[in-house]
Amino acid sequence: MWTRTNDIDRMFSAMDLLNSRMNRLFTEYDRSAGRDFRLRANNDTPKTNLYDLGDKLQLIAELPGVAKADLNVRIQGNYLELSGSRKSEVPEGYKAHRVERGSITFTRSFTLPTDVDSERVEAVLRDGVLTMNLPKIEAAKPKQITIS
């Protein structure tokens, strides 16, 4: 019995070793190429949460540095698309020594679990967080059925 447990331990140790070597390999490649793909992938698309509140859906998206004028929201049935851009410009007469928050352009689309009433959608952008209340159409709202 101990032999089988030791074999499993050795297998997981080998997998951990392979994982750490692969992480090191890609980190060194990213550094040599002058970019970090992990950070880039996380910053190019807004992180979102989608909640079902019964009669409506609520979408919360993190959009740091994105102005209202640079944000577009499109809804059609149960399809929602967020797109926009964030600009990062060096003030005139200055020189940039480090740029970690560059300009980005993003598009993010969602297939919502139900159709929403696009005429009654409420959207608020405050402190870099977009909060959208998406009322469900009447046919998609839950109904309480009385049992006789």
Domain limits, the chain = 1-35, 46-140
Regarding predicted confidence, which is higher, 58 or 13?
Answer: 58
pLDDT at 40: 44
CATH top-level class of 46-140: mainly beta
pLDDT in tens, 69-93: 999 999 988 899 999 998 888 888 9
The mean predicted confidence, pLDDT, of the chain is 82
pLDDT digits (tens, 9 = 90+) for 27-51: 666 555 555 444 444 456 889 999 9
b/e 23-48 (16+ beta carbons within 10 angstroms → b): eeeeeeeeeeeeeeeeeeeebeebeb
* Exposure string for 61-99, b = 16+ CB within 10 A, e = fewer: bebeebeeeebebebeebebebebbbeeeeeeeeeeeee
The pLDDT of residue 29 = 60
Greater confidence, 131 or 15? Answer: 131
